Amino acid sequence: MSIALSALPISMRRIEKRFGSVPVLRDLNLDVEAGEFLTLLGPSGSGKTTLLMILAGFVRANGGSIKVGGDEIIATPPHKRNIGMVFQNYALFPHMNVSHNIAFALKQRRVPARETAERVEKALDMVKLGGLGERRVDQLSGGQRQRVALARAIVFEPRIVLMDEPLSALDKGLREHMQIELRALHRRLGMTTVYVTHDQREAITMSDRIAVMNAGRIEQLDKPETLYAAPKTQFVAGFIGESNFVPVESRNGSVWYEDRKIRTATPAPAAGQHLMVVRPETLRLVANDEPGDSVNVLDATVGDIIYQGDSFVCYVSLRDGRQLTLRDYCRSDVLARMPAPGQPIRLGLDARDTILVAAEG
């Protein structure tokens, strides 16, 4: 007996949700590819959990369409959607042992006892809990409980699996370990997965694509590396990774910061005010005689230098008083060239690392 999860696509169109007069989701469209691990990422109140609950059927949308494998399910009750769900608090039954928790969904579907036992055993093996079926839930660690919740979600061979911040209750080390395990399990089973988190590092680690949500809308849907290297909005640039923002102006086909021309790897945007996104790890020290054809040079003053073990953070002030952060590894050659606090410093930003976004607000 093997567990063979479906890999069906999801299509959500014009999803609207209001709580009273307060809009939570606004004309939202989302496509999830078959077998994809897609994460809904955003701050509290962005609508990501509400969207997941609408997909699961636990919250009713005020309008829109949801299709799974081409079948419309917007009006289908939750227990008929054949969707596996892993909740933030695991939602395990404390009076049942591990096997009974996992078997619950199968018994609800009237699966024969022998087949149920076989599926439960297979699910336990998949999440590396073989031999623990008789153990009580309160005898398990946080990571083990999370695996039981996952086994319960996949044992009935659902069409899709939804996860609502399932790792948030774990400590940092275990959470990072479980991220890798969940990703490996997804690849092994090929299940279509929609995952919710507010942790951008977690999303980047686990996802095929990430939908960054803000105020009930999807700001950008892309691969993790694209979101990081080419954010389309100030919100995405600020939410994915660390960012410094420097105001620049586009005019006559060129971009300017004060009286200095800014070089970019892409054509200059439309005329007007924009923001240059400066990642702390892309800044570097430059010598006075370094050619500037492909490097943007910023003059600043060192404020503070903080040692962090394998790396250090340097806080600097530009001529206009704007604060920037530089981050680099603690290499002896870099540290030897680093000016002391209060001293001038020249920072280089390669044109290929120069990102421009429209200023918001």
For residues 96 and 304, what is the distance between their CA atoms, to the nearest angstrom? Answer: 56
3-class DSSP assignment, residue 18: strand
Whole-prediction pTM = 0.88
What pLDDT does residue 1 have? 46
Which residues does the chain have with pLDDT short of 70? 1-6, 289-292, 361
Decide: residue 145, CB within 10 A, 0-12 exposed, 13-18 middle, 19+ buried. buried
What pLDDT does residue 117 have? 93
The answer to whether 116 and 108 are in contact (CB under 8 A) is no
What pLDDT does residue 213 have? 97
The dotted CATH code for 10-232 is: 3.40.50.300
Numbered ranges of CATH 2.40.50.140 in the chain:
242-358
From the candidate CATH numbers 3.40.1440.60, 2.40.50.140, 3.90.1170.50, 3.30.565.10, the one assigned to the domain spanning 242-358: 2.40.50.140
3-class DSSP assignment, residue 54: helix
For residues 105 and 30, what is the distance between their CA atoms, to the nearest angstrom? Answer: 28
